């Protein structure tokens, strides 16, 4: 069976999705409110993690987002969100499972992460932070290249 046929027969179910960890620190909001119209510079990091669960064919996939707003070299807010989903993946070849978990599952979770971050930054006193779409396939490729270059993960 070809990889395309395998993916067409694959069963991917979302059993649950939830906020696993959330932190929003807003230490300099008064400075921002008094500082005029200048918006903070935003640095965003996104990572994907997964773990197999005890139940057969069931996996937890987490999107980890860290966003930091800085203004004039000072952190004005720090946001950390881990949003997870429990997925059942059946009828797939073993060599295709990892890409499905690291690419397709995060694609399903991403709109919810984007909404949470937008609402949280807006409720924190800033314009809503709208995350741009993420190419999870490219993120996956970059991660594989990093692992190939540094198999011990020390970089």
Grade residue 7 by pLDDT with cuts at 50, 70 and 90.
Answer: low
- Residue 36 DSSP class: T
Q: Is the pLDDT of residue 36 over 70?
A: no
Q: How would residue 9 be classed by pLDDT, with cut points 50, 70 and 90?
A: confident
Q: Which residues lie closer than 8 Å to 78 by C-beta, 6 or more apart?
A: 23, 24, 25, 66, 67, 68, 69
Query: What is the bridge-based pairing of β-strands 41-52 and 11-25?
Result: unpaired
- Give the tens place of pLDDT for each residue, 87-130: 999 999 989 999 999 999 999 999 999 999 999 999 998 899 99
Distance from first CA to last CA of the chain, Å, rounded? 38
CA dihedral 97→102→107→108, nearest 10 degrees, is 60
Q: How confident is the model at residue 42 (pLDDT cuts 50, 70, 90)?
A: very high
136/74 Cα distance (integer angstroms): 31
Of the CATH numbers 3.40.50.2300, 3.90.180.10, 3.10.420.10, 3.90.550.10, which one belongs to the domain with range 3-149? 3.10.420.10
Q: Domain map of the chain by residue range?
A: 3-149
User: What's the CA gap between 32 and 100, in Å, rounded?
Assistant: 41
In the numeric block, which tokens belong to residue 89? 């993946």
Q: Is 0.75 surpassed by the pTM of this model?
A: yes
Distances in whole angstroms, Cα of residue 13 to Cα of each of 22, 49, 54, 89: 25, 18, 16, 7
């Amino acid at each position: 069976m070809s990889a395309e046929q395998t993916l067409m027969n694959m069963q991917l179910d979302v059993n649950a999705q939830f906020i696993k960890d959330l932190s929003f620190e807003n230490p300099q909001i008064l400075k921002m409110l008094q500082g005029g119209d200048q918006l903070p510079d935003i640095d965003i990091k996104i990572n994907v993690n997964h773990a197999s669960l005890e139940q057969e064919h069931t996996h937890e996939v987490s999107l980890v987002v860290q966003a930091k707003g800085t203004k004039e070299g000072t952190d004005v807010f720090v946001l950390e969100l881990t949003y997870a989903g429990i997925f059942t993946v059946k009828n797939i070849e073993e060599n295709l499972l990892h890409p499905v978990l690291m690419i397709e599952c995060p694609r399903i979770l991403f709109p919810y992460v984007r909404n949470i971050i937008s609402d949280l930054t807006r409720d924190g006193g800033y314009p809503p932070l709208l995350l741009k779409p993420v190419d999870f396939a490219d993120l996956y490729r970059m991660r594989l290249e990093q692992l190939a270059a540094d198999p011990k993960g020390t970089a």
